[in-house]
Amino acid sequence: MTRRVEERVGYVLKRVQQALRAAMDEALRRHGVTTAQYAALSVLEEVSGLSGAELARRCFVTPQTMNEIVAHLEAAGLVERRRGDDARVLRAALTANGQELVAVCHRAVGVIEERMVSGLSPREQRQLLGDLHRCIDALESSSSPAADPSPLESSLK
């Protein structure tokens, strides 16, 4: 029996992600940053001195995209890049202005996240977070069973 699309976990997760992203885009635009820039600022606040490639992996974008993001943040005086031990690699860190802006943005995003889970009790919020982490762990586990070929794939052979 096929489930309706609204009953599929992946579809509902994508709808949540889209709604969250739209709300964050709107709120962060007021502070002059994009959601991708906010992600980079947040990661650098937590772990300073990352290379562009390391930052890209943590923000789920390509290194080329991250290079553009960091270049914009650097031009705005929010991030600075310096050569590390390996002179070929630039390491990014927040400036004082970057630290101030990311704190303001955290508050704006916090309001959105609070609204998103406002219908859940604190216990339900903790449960949801735990459930989502277990979903991630299940998908990222090293061994996964091979999927059966779809009827379409079978008919094409």
CATH of the domain at 40: 1.10.10.10
Instruction: Report if residue 65 sits inside a domain.
Output: yes
Q: Which residues contact 60 (CB under 8 A, 6 or more apart)?
A: 39
14: region left, alpha or beta (phi > 0 left; psi from -120 to 50 alpha):
alpha
Each residue of 65-74: pLDDT tens digit?
Answer: 999 999 999 9
143 within domain boundaries: no
Residue 29 lies in a domain: yes
51 in Cβ contact with 89 (< 8 Å): yes
Report yes or no on 118 lying in a domain: yes
Domain count of the fold of the chain: 1
Any bridge partners for residue 94, and if so which? Answer: 79
pLDDT band at 144 (very low <50, low <70, confident <90, very high): low
pLDDT class of 148 with cuts at 50, 70, 90:
low
Q: Rounded to an integer, what distance in angstroms lies between the CA atom of residue 153 and that of residue 14?
A: 26
Task: Note the pLDDT of residue 151.
Answer: 57
Both structure tokens of 9: 């976990």
Please report whether residue 153 resides in a domain.
no
Mean pLDDT of 91-119: 98
pLDDT band (50, 70, 90) for residue 6: confident
Find, among 60, 65, 70, the residue nearest to 91 by Cα. 70
Tokens found for residue 37: 């820039």
Mean of pLDDT values over 108-134: 97
Which residues face 7 on adjacent strands? none
- The whole-model pTM stands at 0.83
Does 145 map to a domain?
no
Range of the domain at 10: 5-137
Residue 157 predicted with pLDDT over 80:
no
Does residue 154 carry a pLDDT above 80? no
Q: Which pLDDT score, from 0 to 100, does residue 117 have? A: 97
Residue 100 belongs to a domain: yes
Q: Is residue 59 assigned to a domain? A: yes
